[in-house]
Amino acid sequence: MKQNIIHIATRKSPLALKQTAAVLECLGEAMPDQCFESLELTTQVDQRLKWSLEKRGGIGLFTKELEEALLEGRADLAVHSAKDMPTTTPEGLAVAGYLPRARANDCLIRQKNCADPALIATSSPRRRAQLGKRFPHAEWSTIRGNVGTRLKKIVDGACEASILAAAGLDRLEISQFEGLVFEMLSFEEMVPAPGQAAIAIQCREEALETYAHLFCERTKIAVSLEKGFLKRLGSGCQIPVGAYYHEDTFHIFHPETGYRAFNLDIQKPEDIEPTLDRILKDLQL
């Protein structure tokens, strides 16, 4: 009997392919008798490098084509960076789970001889709002492209500094680049985006029971709390909000409250909504 192949939709960027390889390894160990195959797709946002992600809303731009492949039956699973996913899931789809999370810090990358950069490139209002406290006189620009392209652009003078997620650098095994300094930012200085550093696996709703038990429950609780906080605020990634739950501490950045930290002990998904009720009441948001 011919074995059915489970097709996994992914973007074609080097980082997306690395993340998909990690998912394939996880599924291969959990379902050794099953055959998996990548379905590499190009999204509109990958093709249009001149697009302003901030003006176009950011969240959902990197997931649309992969979700369409799921809904049309061309793919059975899709791999996303959790921070790129909207706080609501299209009808008929569900998040099956997440791989164990990588380190979620943001990394300031600057030219070697530029300790106080005057031109910093980032399309993220969250990063601008937080790093602007350290560099109040800096001007802001944007650069697009994959990680390697962005690093080269910094060296070539398109900007003096930029900010990238440490998880992406780790997955691409990039810890240094000639002419640049890498500085890991603390959570107090730069609260990550909700879902940052987590790899999400999406499926059709009817297949949820097949996959949900295969992934990391702790990461699921953390990302659900962070995305739930964002959803309660009615915010997408173009609002300067940071939220990160790690080792029983919920780190939050909001432009009206600044940095805040809450000690929490969330053991199960049912604890999330009442916890958010208390936090939002405390923050008066």
Active-site residues: which are they?
Answer: 84
Who's near 285: CB < 8 A, 6+ residues apart?
233, 254, 256, 257
In a 10 Å sphere around its CB, with 0-12 CB exposed, 13-18 middle and 19+ buried, how is residue 217 labelled?
A: middle
Check the CA dihedral 261-267-273-275 and report its sign: negative
Give the count of beta carbons closer than 10 Å to the beta carbon of residue 202: 24
Residue 77 · residue 83 · CB < 8 Å: no
Give the count of beta carbons closer than 10 Å to the beta carbon of residue 185: 19
